[in-house]
Chain A
């Protein structure tokens, strides 16, 4: 299950989670920083994507700054209704992620859409379909978002 990495892979994962240069021949420039050849970096990145250690390699876009809208929301679902409610929630295309978590509010999902208004509508639909009240947890301020995962 866990991807197998050697020391060079780890160095790549740990140091290339951001800062890929927006220049001509960027892999050559990034490889030089790591003491690798352009070809070796490209081959290793291909392998990291293939074995799943990396979901992808490229730009991570900021949805709100691209004109989209995102909201975290939660439901307190009675255990016996959990799978049924998960199905109702997941059926909405605006639901991007949904996790079961250890709390009375045991279902946490992220809604993403073109507009805040559409997100409000979907929350209304989810409340009608499930008969449960949705806890809205919009982001009011962001202190940090990043991935500093060490491999």
Chain B
């Protein structure tokens, strides 16, 4: 499986990461920007999508602007031998937007399963966390929910010919 991108893939990424042109024939416009021909652009986008280098293509919603202002990172201490099975179940819940296994750091950080939950209010997030607890019980030894209270930095991840760069345009840092 080919994982690394070549220069043509990078040119396509650079031409599309800010968004697709909102015109009837976007691939022709991407091809023009990337200096490639249109058939090749479409073929490479399909290949990147198939191998997972493109997670999905569509609207990237802005939670805050849609009124989803409560953001809770729920963290769980579950037995290591069950974490993959339990993680799969939590990840399958429709309201969980990210779910990962991460290492514990004892004694200060006992949690090995992370599930991100968004809501219009903390009460809504709490209701969803209770549903996660229901799925995980009786295996939960401890858990917590870390709400975001302030965005300190939100830069865009950008691929450029030659590497990954993080852009530093002035961005608002709303208190949330």
| Chain A residues in the interface with B (C-beta under 8 A) | 1-3, 5, 12-13, 16-20, 22-28, 38, 42, 45-46, 48-49, 51-63, 65-68, 72, 76, 86, 89-90, 93-105, 107-109, 112-114, 135-149, 151
Range of interface residues on B (Cβ < 8 Å): 35 or more
Q: Which single member of A28, A62, A141 contacts B84 (CB below 8 Å)?
A: A141
Q: How far is the CB of B43 from chain A (nearest CB, A)?
A: 9
The reply on B26 being an interface residue by CB < 8 A is yes
Which residues on the A side are within 8 Å of B168 (C-beta)?
93
Taken residue by residue from 87 to 108, chain B's Cβ proximity to chain A (1 for < 8 Å, 0 otherwise) reads as 1101110111111111101001
Q: Is the CB of B54 within 8 A of A143?
A: no
Of residues 5 through 37 on chain B, the ones whose CB sits less than 8 Å from some CB of chain A are 5, 13, 16-20, 22-27
Q: Which of A65, A94, A96, A144 has the most chain B CB atoms closer than 10 A to its own CB?
A: A144
Q: Is the CB of A57 within 8 A of B100?
A: no
Q: Which residue in chain B gives the minimum CB-CB distance to A2?
A: B67
Q: Is the CB of A63 within 8 A of B157?
A: yes
Q: Which single member of A58, A112, A141 contacts B17 (CB below 8 Å)?
A: A58
- Please count the residue pairs between chain A and chain B whose beta carbons lie under 8 angstroms apart in the complex: 255
Known: A18-B58, A54-B61, A67-B5. 5 other contacts (CB 8 A): A25-B24, A59-B54, A98-B153, A135-B108, A145-B97
Q: Is the CB of B94 within 8 A of A60?
A: no
Please report the C-alpha to C-alpha distance between residue A45 and residue B18 in the assembled complex, in whole angstroms. 14
The reply on B73 being an interface residue by CB < 8 A is yes
Of residues 130 through 176 on chain B, the ones whose CB sits less than 8 Å from some CB of chain A are 144-157, 159, 163-166, 168
Q: Is the CB of B62 within 8 A of A54?
A: yes
Which residues on the A side are within 8 Å of B54 (C-beta)?
59-62
Q: Is the CB of B97 within 8 A of A96?
A: no
Which residues on the B side are within 8 Å of A16 (C-beta)?
58-59
Q: Is the CB of A101 within 8 A of B146?
A: yes
Q: How far is the CB of B80 from chain A (nearest CB, A)?
A: 11
Q: Is the CB of B20 within 8 A of A22?
A: no
Q: Is the CB of A25 within 8 A of B66?
A: no
Please report the C-alpha to C-alpha distance between residue A105 and residue B157 in the assembled complex, in whole angstroms. 24
Q: Is the CB of B60 within 8 A of A56?
A: yes
Q: Which single member of B23, B55, B66 contacts A145 (CB below 8 Å)?
A: B55
Which residues on the B side are within 8 Å of A57 (C-beta)?
19-20, 22, 58-60
Q: How far is the CB of A120 from chain B (nearest CB, A)?
A: 15
Q: Which residue in chain A gives the minimum CB-CB distance to B4?
A: A67
Please list 30 pairs of residues, one from A and one from B, whose beta carbons are closer than 8 Å in the complex, sorted by A's number.
A2-B67, A3-B66, A16-B59, A18-B56, A19-B56, A20-B20, A28-B24, A45-B59, A48-B59, A49-B22, A53-B61, A56-B60, A57-B20, A58-B57, A62-B53, A86-B152, A94-B166, A100-B150, A100-B152, A102-B149, A105-B146, A114-B163, A135-B105, A137-B109, A142-B99, A142-B100, A143-B88, A148-B97, A149-B97, A149-B118
